[in-house]
Structure 1
Amino acid sequence: MPTLDDILEHIGDFDLFQKQVFFVLCFVSAAFSPIYVGVVFLGFTPEHRCLSPGVAEMSSRCGWSLEEELNYTVPEQGRHGESFSSQCRRYDVDWNTTGLSCINPLENSTGYGNRSSIPLTPCQDGWVYDSSGSSIVTEFNLVCEDSWKVDLFQSCVNAGFLLGSVYVGYIADRFGRKLCLIVTILVSATSGVLVAFAPSYLWMMIFRFLQGLVSKGSWAAGYILITEVVGPSHRKTVGILYQAAFSVGLLLLDGVAYAIPHWRWLQLTVTLPCFLFLLYYWCLPESPRWLISQKQNDKAMKIVDYIAKKNGKKLPACFQKINLEEEDGENLSPSFMDLVRTPQIRKHTFILMYNW
């Protein structure tokens, strides 16, 4: 009995059909980059300082330049051994007091003699950010004591990657590569839009986790699908180039983020085009290898005929009415133990885990 690889040798193992499938699936790989490293732009932390009520009015009254305003009103960096005091602390001074001098007001009008003796207080009234754009940091004030929430934002999507990588593979094996790809794309794109409209930090985290839960799965489903429709001699090449498309997505993300410095609009811009991937439902066939594993040989043969016609080849007569079989000749149910069942696969599993 011939295998699918035997048939691909006759109808083209990397011809027009495979090249078209590879091209359209590379967009999925490129679109994954904003999810994976988008925190660089979404969570950008600009220079910042405490908002001190009354400083703006006094600066305007005294005609201070920005440099003078910062020199007079912002604590010195690392005063008394305190790190980032200029970003997370402000002078405990009422700047609305009319008796403050316009020249060295802290030393001439407060009675403390020198700045080092003036007590500091946390940024109770918010922060001023030296940025013309916006990020989740500037909108939700994720600085100073709350700066760890930026890391948690990325940790949520990484946790989603971890869980999604476990269950999405099972879904792809159980319900098919194509269905898995379409469903995960739909959920990922919807979650990405919800992130852009999140009314609070908590909701943003929930939607970000959901996006991570399925986005890695859509990337993996695309990877599996393209490697299963090409011949053995081209699988390594398409696998490498599929991941190279991710790097292209990084370059495009840099340009888009430079042009759109506001995080909500940036999130929408990189997410909305993903809905176009739902057209793959009509553009991409199911993996014939998966159909064979499900004993759906008739459907697999129809796809093989389609591939042959697309490649301008003719399926040999000896393959027209034959049932396809995979090399092992049996349909084994996958399990997690398969990852460590033999010494060779154990070695590969541990190497990949270490690399990740």
Structure 2
Amino acid sequence: MDEGGKMKEAITEVKEDPQELKERKEVVQEEKEGKEVVQGEKDGKEGDLSWVNTFEDLLEVVGTNGRWNILMFIMCVTSVAISPLQTLSYQFLGATPDYWCHIAPLVEANWTDQQILSLAIPYSNSTGKYEGCQMRNYNYTAAALLGYKATMKDPSVVQHGNTTSIIKCSARDFNHSQYSSTVVTEWDLVCERRVLYSTTQAVMEGGKIVAYPIFGYLIDALGRRPIVLVCVVINILAGFLVAASPTVEVYILLKLIVSATDAGTYLGIFVFVMETCAAKYRAAVGCLVAIPWAIGYMITPGIAYLVRPWRWLQFAYALPSLYCIIYFWPASLGKEAAQPIWQEMRRAARNNNQDRSCHA
């Protein structure tokens, strides 16, 4: 059958069934009305944001994968790489070289380190090292007067009594050829004072434990922007002040402040990054945020290799934190004035080429 015949047959069938013809007309009318509704909604979105009821609606207007989102992501995660420089640097700032008891008479007599070790410091066969916290109970003033060679010929002449006892010492000397200056050598954080060295890292972790719930509440109550900026300023100041610490107690206190404010900064950044990406990308973005942190962790020992004195090393670790002051931080989407939020959203929309949808 030719094409014309098929058309005549179809027309005849429709004429023969008025009910089917009516149903077809109703379907066509519904499709036409549906298109008009969709088009009306699109037109309304371009000029009226009254339809925006949820945060996801707002992201749809502004855009979730445009230039603004990418720029904000890069700016935020770059600062994440700075975090390990301060919080995981205690092993390099507090590197512990070989040490032994400080024996003032022999040091004043210009005995070499090896001469002092051979006479005064017991050797441990189990560890293969000299004992760092013990020394032989000799008359070292007499040994200094006799000289090294005479004393080593007959060490019994400087003994107290018939036997040589082992005693503890209250001060140590360090092998500065291994590390020129560290927190440990600066404040003698070995032997009975070793607990203070462990405390330096304990307060770093403790500061984070305390800071996360506190700043978690504050960034929701006061907004991301003010909390992050306050944390950044305090973190920068405390980071540089650590390098000038006069005592180990001040050092520990400043490290606590650095750790707590670093946690506040990181938390605000993480929340902001997760808020400004589409829901379907949030799992991936959460993983991507951790990558710069790992990179910063790998850079930390490299800086320690190049900069040896601990005060200058701390200064080098604190210096990159100045990067954070360049933030022109986007307005928080929390409890802040509505007008600044919409201004920021319009700016984001313009950068994402979505300006027509966000001009109300």
Using the size of structure 2 for normalisation, the TM-score is 0.75
Spell out structure 1 runs of 4+ moving beyond 4 A.
56-60, 66-69, 82-85
Partner of residue 181 from structure 2, selected from 114, 126, 134 = 134
Q: How does 1:80-119 map to 2 (within 5 A)?
A: 86-97=131-142, 98-100=145-147, 102=149, 105-106=151-152, 108-111=154-157, 117-119=163-165
Query: CA–CA distance in 2 between the matches of 1:307 and 1:109?
Result: 81
Please name the residue that 2:3 is paired with.
Answer: none
Query: CA–CA distance in 1 between the matches of 2:81 and 2:148?
Result: 58
Query: CA–CA distance in 1 between the matches of 2:259 and 2:128?
Result: 34
Please name the residue that 2:85 is paired with.
Answer: 34
Q: Deviations over 1:53-107 (max 9, x none)?
A: 34457675xxx7x65653344212279xx9987100112223443335517x356
Please name the residue that 1:270 is paired with.
Answer: 317
Q: How does 1:285-300 map to 2 (within 5 A)?
A: 285-288=330-333, 290=334, 294=335, 296-300=337-341
- The structure number with the bigger radius of gyration is 2
Partner of residue 179 from structure 1, selected from 211, 223, 226 = 226
Query: CA–CA distance in 1 between the matches of 2:336 and 2:79?
Result: 29
Partner of residue 158 from structure 1, selected from 205, 208, 215 = 205
- Label 1:9 to 1:101 Cα distance change in 2 as closer, same or farther (>3 A): closer
Q: Deviations over 1:146-199 (max 9, x none)?
A: 111111111222222122112111211121101111100111111112211111
Q: Is the 8 A contact 1:14 1:234 kept in 2?
A: no
Query: What SS class does the counterpart of residue 147 from structure 1 fall into?
Result: helix
Please name the residue that 2:345 is paired with.
Answer: 304
- Label 1:11 to 1:110 Cα distance change in 2 as closer, same or farther (>3 A): same
Please name the residue that 1:13 is paired with.
Answer: 64
Query: CA–CA distance in 2 between the matches of 1:273 and 1:16?
Result: 25
Deviation at 1:228, TM superposition (A): 1.1
Q: Is the 8 A contact 1:186 1:275 kept in 2?
A: no
Partner of residue 120 from structure 1, selected from 166, 175, 186 = 166
RMSD: 3.0
Query: CA–CA distance in 2 between the matches of 1:255 and 1:261?
Result: 11
Q: Deviations over 1:113-160 (max 9, x none)?
A: 9xx942223224432334332111110000001111111111222222
Moved more, 297-306 or 146-155: 297-306
Query: CA–CA distance in 1 between the matches of 2:116 and 2:336?
Result: 76
Q: Which amino acid aligns with 1:14?
A: N
Please name the residue that 2:307 is paired with.
Answer: 260
Query: CA–CA distance in 1 between the matches of 2:264 and 2:298?
Result: 22
Deviation at 1:260, TM superposition (A): 0.8
Query: CA–CA distance in 2 between the matches of 1:74 and 1:117?
Result: 15
- Label 1:223 to 1:269 Cα distance change in 2 as closer, same or farther (>3 A): same
Correspondence 1:198 to 2:245:
yes
Q: Is the 8 A contact 1:228 1:287 kept in 2?
A: no
List runs of 5+ in structure 1 lacking aligned partners.
322-356
Query: What SS class does the counterpart of residue 270 from structure 2 fall into?
Result: helix
Query: CA–CA distance in 2 between the matches of 1:272 and 1:19?
Result: 25
Q: Is the 8 A contact 1:58 1:95 kept in 2?
A: no
Correspondence 1:22 to 2:22:
no
- Label 1:106 to 1:123 Cα distance change in 2 as closer, same or farther (>3 A): farther
Query: CA–CA distance in 1 between the matches of 2:354 and 2:83?
Result: 34
Query: CA–CA distance in 2 between the matches of 1:73 and 1:264?
Result: 32
Q: Which amino acid aligns with 2:135?
A: R
List runs of 5+ in structure 2 lacking aligned partners.
1-50
Query: What SS class does the counterpart of residue 127 from structure 1 fall into?
Result: strand
Query: What SS class does the counterpart of residue 90 from structure 1 fall into?
Result: strand
Query: What SS class does the counterpart of residue 135 from structure 2 fall into?
Result: strand
Please name the residue that 1:346 is paired with.
Answer: none
